[in-house]
Structure formats: C-alpha cells, structure tokens
C-alpha cells in the first residue's frame, strides 16, 4: 500500500514523528520489530511520554497503522529511520539496531524514495555505513535512483515549550538534490529548517549539542564537590551566577546524568575521535567527574545517617524519583540505578517512590515501590530526592520526620540537606 511516510522505530523519536506527520496530513505507517509496541499502538495505547493515548487514537483515525512486517516500507515515498543507537554492555557505541534497520530498508527500497536517518551516531555514519549498505542491499545508487539524508532528532521528552514543530530542524543530504528533498519533507513538519553543509556536519552538530551539556554538567558537579568541601552553598552560588544576563548558562548538579542522549552521545564522539588518533581530554575529564557523583551522593547519605547515630547498613533509604528527568516515565541511564546499587552494596534497605515508574530493578532485584509518599517518609531513616517531579511538595519534604538529602536544590528545612 502506497503512503507518504514510513517510520522505522516507533520509540521516543519515531512515534512523535509519526504523530506529527499524521497531524499535518501525511499518510503514515510505522514499522517496529517489537510486537508489544505494535500491539499496544493498535489498541490505542501509547508507550511514549510525549504522545498521549488520545493522540494515538487520532493517528489511527487518520489512517496510521503500525506493523512488524518490513514489506510496508516498499510503498513509502519517504522512509525515516528512528531506531535507538545506545551503548553496549562494555560502554561502547552499539549500532546493531541501525544496521538491522538499514538492512530492512534496503530490501524494500524502490527508486525515487527519500531515506532519512534520525538516529544519533558518529560523524561519517551516513556516508560510511548507511549509504554502502543501502546501495549494496538494493542495487540502487544514492543521488541517482534514491535520495539519502541525515537529520538529527531533537526530541526533549516532557518539554511542552519546544515541540517538534517549533524546534529548528537540521537537515543534510549526501548530494545537493538529496538535501533538497529532505528540506521539502521536513518543511511540512517544522517551522524552521536549517541546511547543513553535509551529513558529517549534521552528525557532528548533534554530538556537539549534547556534549556541550555533558561537559557543563560535569563542570558544575565538580564545583558542587568543591563547595561541599569548603562549606559553600552551591545552590546560592548558581542563583547568583545565573543573574548575569550574558556569558553564563545555568546548569544544575545532581547524582549524575541520564537519558538517551547526554550520557551516550559524548561516548560516540570520544570513540570516533580515538579511531582517528585524536584525544578529547575534556570528555575524559567530564566522564570521570560524572562517574564519581553517585558515590559522592551515597557518601553524603552515609554521613547524614551517622550524624543520627545510625549506620548505613540496615538503614531504610527511600529514593524519591528514579527517572532521568522530571515528570516523565523514562529511566534510561538514570543515575538512580548506580545510587541504588551502591546503597544496597553498603547494606541499606532501599525502596523508592515515583508516580511514573511502576517497577524499578537494581541489578536484577526489584526494589519495593512505595505508593503513599507521606507514609514512606514516616517509616524511612532517610529520604533521597533524586528527581524533582512536580508532585514532590517542598513543604511536605521540609516537614518529613526523617532526614532528607536533596540533590536537586529544591527544598529547605531543618532536616533537609542539599547536595
């Protein structure tokens, strides 16, 4: 069946793209290798924070359908690949999902199709990996028989101010004509299209955006470590510095970094640099600082408990918020995993409260979920605020019977200690 768009990978990138395409009137299909994802969408259920069940129903009414059958790609005028590109167990870039998706696309590719990759990867991926695989698998030639482009995703889960439509979109093509087709496609979805010189520039821009955040978060984390040593209030320091109307961008310290981009993208850049004989010293330093933060937080927990005459071993520690950012359900790369593991290694009994996360495992062991926040605070020896969900009333935390360690600088009180 012919359609305007086929989206490969219906996760945090692909499903919002498909939803936006349906909203502007593009006939759209989705392909995903996960049967539960496809079945859930068919039942009108969304698994992504930024797309509601109602929006999934509206997509279905507009003709959208999801499938695990790659043959659906054959009838699409444009195919956009939105599969995850994370890290392996060893912490190295993992392009297995991208390679598999491209193989599926190549097998169904038809002349005249525009193929766009949105998945994040190192500079050179489109030209050195995607292009040869598509040409080899299809027998077609980029720039002559079909068009190939790269456009890095800019999804920020939970951000209601900057959505797909009003966030400028960077696009690039393997040839000027490829780029022209990509501009025409994204021009229907977003308000502003920015054309990069080439695919390598667009790929590098994506890595720079998140590496910038990675490095600056590491900087403010290290400043927080120093301030703790000196007895300086880091949160007041940040408040004062942020009043400067130029030359300073505020970043907040915490237990670490999480999500699908910030902990991952710098690793892609570092590994690619190493393969080219270049060393990103700043990335190495940032990685060391960020890697120390979970242990620092646990040491602060142990210190607060000892001040109450209670050792960490046997203490009941309540984690408040285990997602990687506030008011979403996404736990990918959340520092809560490392903090929980270190607490349990120290002998603490760890439970958690998070209205967005029905279950949370620590190294294969499910943690006890507390539904009643007030009750959980009442029978814990210490509460650790890891994520500042809007449901966490600062007044309630300030009145908690147990000590509270606030890693987000959100509240204050006699029994509250801030990172």
206, part of any domain: no
Q: Is residue 231 part of a domain?
A: yes
pLDDT, residue 216, reads 97
Same domain, 216 and 130: no
- Contact (CB, 8 A) for 183 and 193: yes
Asked which of 167, 197, 227 is the last residue of a domain, the reply is 197
Domain boundary among 149, 173, 197: 197
What's residue 91's pLDDT?
A: 87
Q: How high is the pLDDT of residue 158? A: 85
Domain count of the fold of the chain: 2
Q: Which two tokens stand for residue 283?
A: 């990335």
Contact 198, 172 (CB under 8 A): yes
Decide if 354 contacts 322 (C-beta within 8 A). Answer: yes
For residues 118 and 203, is the Cβ–Cβ distance under 8 A? Answer: no
Domain boundary pick from 139, 167, 197: 197
Helices (H) and strands (E) counted in the chain, each on its own, are: 14, 16
Residue 116's pLDDT is: 98
Residue 202 falls within a domain, yes or no? no
Contacting residues for 408 by C-beta, under 8 A, at least 6 apart: 252, 254, 385, 386, 387, 388, 419
Give the number of other Cβ atoms within 10 Å of residue 109's Cβ: 23
What is the rounded distance in angstroms from the CA atom of residue 110 to the CA atom of residue 128? 21
Judgement on whether residues 222 and 346 belong to the same structural domain of the protein: yes
13 with 152, same domain: the answer is yes
**CA atoms of 118 and 316, how far apart (whole Å):** 44
pLDDT attached to residue 260: 85
pLDDT at 371: 95
**Pair 101, 166 in one domain:** yes
CATH number at residue 81: 3.40.50.720
179 and 269 both lie in a single domain? no
Q: Is residue 203 included in any domain, yes or no?
A: no
Question: Is 261 a known active-site residue?
Answer: yes
Measure the CA–CA gap between 327 and 371, rounded to whole angstroms. 16
Give the pLDDT score at 160: 86
**365-366 and 361-362 beta bridge pairing:** antiparallel
Low-confidence stretches of the chain (pLDDT < 50) are none
Packing angle between helix 281-307 and helix 199-230, nearest 10 degrees? 30
**Other C-beta atoms within 10 Å of 138: how many?**
20
Please give the pLDDT value at position 52.
Answer: 95
Do 151 and 122 have their domain in common? yes
What range does the domain containing 183 cover?
A: 3-197
Active-site annotation holder among 178, 261, 362, 402? 261
Same domain flag for 381 and 302 = yes
pLDDT recorded at residue 159: 87
pLDDT at position 157, please?
86
Residue 367 lies in a domain: yes
């Amino acid at each position: 069946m012919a359609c305007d768009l086929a989206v490969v990978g219906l996760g945090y990138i692909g499903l919002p793209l498909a939803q936006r395409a349906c909203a502007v009137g593009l006939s759209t299909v989705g392909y995903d290798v996960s049967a539960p994802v496809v079945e859930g969408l068919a039942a009108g259920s969304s698994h992504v924070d930024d797309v509601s069940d109602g929006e999934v129903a509206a997509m279905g009414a507009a003709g959208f359908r999801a499938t695990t059958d790659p043959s659906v790609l054959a009838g699409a005028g444009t195919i956009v690949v939105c599969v995850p590109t994370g890290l392996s167990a060893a912490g190295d870039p993992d392009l297995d999902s991208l390679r598999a998706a491209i193989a599926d696309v190549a097998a169904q590719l038809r002349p005249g199709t525009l193929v766009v990759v949105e998945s994040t990867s190192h500079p050179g991926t489109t030209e050195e990996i995607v292009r040869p695989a598509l040409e080899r698998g299809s027998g077609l030639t980029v720039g002559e028989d079909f068009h190939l482009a790269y456009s890095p995703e800019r999804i920020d889960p939970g951000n209601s101010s900057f959505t797909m439509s009003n966030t400028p979109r960077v696009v690039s093509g393997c040839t000027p004509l490829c780029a022209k087709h990509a501009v025409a496609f994204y021009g229907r979805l977003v308000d502003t299209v920015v054309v990069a010189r080439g695919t390598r520039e667009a790929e590098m821009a994506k890595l720079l955006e998140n590496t910038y955040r990675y490095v600056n978060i590491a900087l403010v984390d290290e400043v927080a470590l120093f301030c703790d040593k000196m007895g300086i209030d880091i949160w007041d320091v940040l408040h004062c510095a942020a009043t400067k109307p130029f030359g300073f961008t505020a970043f907040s310290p915490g237990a670490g970094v999480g999500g699908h981009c910030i902990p991952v993208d710098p690793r892609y850049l570092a590994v690619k640099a190493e393969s080219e004989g270049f060393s990103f010293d700043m990335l190495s330093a940032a990685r060391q600082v960020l890697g120390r933060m979970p242990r620092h937080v646990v040491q602060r927990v142990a210190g607060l408990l000892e001040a109450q005459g209670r050792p960490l071993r046997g203490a009941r520690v309540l984690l408040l918020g285990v997602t990687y950012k506030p008011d979403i359900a996404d736990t990918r790369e959340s520092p809560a995993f490392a903090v929980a593991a270190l607490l349990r290694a120290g002998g603490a009994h760890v439970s958690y409260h998070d209205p967005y996360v029905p279950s949370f495992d620590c190294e294969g062991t499910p943690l006890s979920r507390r539904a009643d926040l007030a009750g959980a605070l009442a029978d814990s020896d210490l509460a650790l605020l890891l994520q500042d969900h809007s449901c966490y009333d600062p007044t309630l935390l300030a009145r908690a019977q147990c000590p509270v360690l606030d890693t987000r600088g959100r509240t204050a009180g006699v029994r509250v200690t801030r990172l």
